Chains A and B, each alone.
Chain A
Amino acid sequence: GESVGLHLPTLSVQEGDNSIINCAYSNSASDYFIWYKQESGKGPQFIIDIRSNMDKRQGQRVTVLLNKTVKHLSLQIAATQPGDSAVYFCAERGSYIPTFGRGTSLIVHP
């Protein structure tokens, strides 16, 4: 797998707003996708996953949308809270090796 070592894009939102974080993936054979949340100084935490036979999956306050046609994944966070401030990564698993997207830094302003 190969990760892109570029600086992270940033999304700033107000507390209570909905947030949408986007991710483009490269491997059309990938059939399993995961969103992770990484807080400063910590390892990534699993948020939600989706398999390629679905185009939408909902969790608590989070929804993942998958568009296989354009190889695009999004994470929607409802009623964003200051505790949601973190870096969010998407990962695809077309093989045993998860491949991470670039990541987006979410900043929630109170």
Chain B
Amino acid sequence: GAVVSQHPSRVICKSGTSVKIECRSLDFQATTMFWYRQFPKQSLMLMATSNEGSKATYEQGVEKDKFLINHASLTLSTLTVTSAHPEDSSFYICSASRGQMNTEAFFGQGTRLTVV
């Protein structure tokens, strides 16, 4: 299967700072990337969908100014958590798709964000 690399895998930051998480598709062109947030023992909650070269589409309740998403190339999308607070601590996961319907999305290994 295709490989999606997410970096960093773990990050600890101070409250009020910003953190950038990268999601790269290593061996295919990802027309669409998805960003999820996952709390312990819960399902994946879709935060936003990003298509290369256009603005991300955010799910209801997700603050676009808080969670900045950039999808500048077909192999890279970034999620920046701005002015992070302890309640932003979570497991963030990206996935990448070739953008075609009825094809699987490939997941990164996730980023554990802890805001202290």
Q: Which chain A residue has the least Cβ–Cβ distance from B100? A: A96
- Which one of B34, B39, B108 lies within 8 Å of A98 (CB-CB)? B34
Bound complex: CA A50 to CA B96 (Å): 19
User: At the interface, is chain A mostly helix, strand, loop or mixed?
Assistant: loop
Q: Which chain B residue has the least Cβ–Cβ distance from A7? A: B41
Footprint of B on A, CB under 8 Å? 1-8, 31-32, 34, 36, 41-46, 49, 51, 89, 91, 93, 95-103, 105
A-B contacts, 7 listed (Cβ < 8 Å): A8-B41, A32-B101, A41-B112, A43-B93, A43-B110, A44-B93, A95-B101
User: Is the CB–CB distance between B45 and A3 below 8 Å?
Assistant: yes
Most chain A CB inside 10 Å of its own CB: which residue of B41, B44, B59, B93:
B44
Which of chain B's residues have a CB closer than 8 A to the CB of A95?
101
> In the complex, given contacts A6-B43, A32-B102, A46-B1, what are 10 additional A-B residue pairs having Cβ atoms less than 8 angstroms apart?
A1-B46, A3-B36, A34-B104, A36-B107, A44-B93, A45-B107, A96-B97, A98-B95, A98-B97, A102-B43
User: Is the CB–CB distance between B46 and A103 below 8 Å?
Assistant: no
Footprint of A on B, CB under 8 Å? 1, 4, 6, 32, 34, 36, 39, 41-46, 49, 59, 91, 93, 95, 97, 99, 101-110, 112
For the complex of A and B, 5 pairs with smallest distance between CB atoms: A43-B107, A32-B102, A43-B110, A3-B43, A43-B109
Given contacts A3-B46, A4-B43, A97-B46, contact A51 B112 (CB under 8 A): no
Shortest C-beta distance, A70 to chain B (Å), equals: 21
Bound complex: CA A105 to CA B41 (Å): 8
Given contacts A43-B107, A96-B97, contact A31 B102 (CB under 8 A): yes
Bound complex: CA A2 to CA B6 (Å): 23
Given contacts A44-B93, A46-B1, A46-B106, contact A103 B112 (CB under 8 A): no
Shortest C-beta distance, A51 to chain B (Å), equals: 7
